[in-house]
Structure 1
Amino acid sequence: MPESNVRVAVLADGEALAALDRETWSTLHAVQPRPRPPYPPFFDGGSAPGDHLVAELDGVLAGYIRLVPATPLICNAHVRQIQGLAVALPARGRGVGRALLRGALAEAGRQGATRITLRVLGHNTPARALYASEGFAVEGVLPGEFRLAGRYVDDVLMGRSLTDW
Structure 2
Amino acid sequence: MRLLWWPCSRRWTTNRSSCCWSPASGSPIRSRWRRVWPVVPTGRDPSYLVVALTGPVLVGYVDVTVLPFTRARRSGYVVAGVRADHAGRGLGRALMESAIREAGSRGMGRLELTVMEHNHRALGLYLRCGFQVEGLRRAALDVHGRRVSEYYMGLLLD
Provide TM-score, normalisation by structure 1: 0.67
Q: How many residues align?
A: 124
Q: CA RMSD in A?
A: 2.1
Aligned: 1:81 with 2:73: no
Match of 2:8 among 44, 51, 58: 44
Give the aligned partner of residue 134 of structure 2. Answer: 139
Any conservation in 2 of the 1:138–1:158 contact (CA below 8 Å)? yes
Answer 1 or 2: which has greater strand percent: 2
SS in 1 for 2:113: strand
Residue 72 to residue 59, structure 1, CA distance change in 2 (3 Å): closer
Match of 1:61 among 55, 58, 61: 58
Residue 150 to residue 11, structure 1, CA distance change in 2 (3 Å): same
Q: Describe how 1:87-126 pairs up with structure 2 within 5 A.
A: 87-126=82-121
Aligned: 1:161 with 2:148: no
Distance (whole Å) between structure 2 residues aligned to residue 10 and residue 151 of structure 1: 41
Q: Which ranges of structure 2 fall in alignment gaps of 5 or more residues?
A: 13-40, 42-47
Shift in Å, 1:89 = 2.4
Give the aligned partner of residue 21 of structure 2. Answer: none
Distance (whole Å) between structure 2 residues aligned to residue 11 and residue 62 of structure 1: 18
Residues 44-65 of structure 1 deviation map (CA, whole Å, 9 limit, x = unaligned) = 21x4423311013467532111
Distance (whole Å) between structure 2 residues aligned to residue 161 and residue 113 of structure 1: 9
SS in 2 for 1:119: strand
2:49 partner letter = H
2:3 partner letter = L
Residue 59 to residue 93, structure 1, CA distance change in 2 (3 Å): farther
Relative contact order (alpha carbons < 8 A, sep ≥ 6): 1 or 2 greater? 1
Residues 7-38 of structure 1 deviation map (CA, whole Å, 9 limit, x = unaligned) = xx9533x4xxxxxxxxxxxxxxxxxxxxxxxx
**What is the percent sequence identity of the aligned residues?**
32
Shift in Å, 1:90 = 2.4
Match of 1:127 among 122, 125, 128: 122
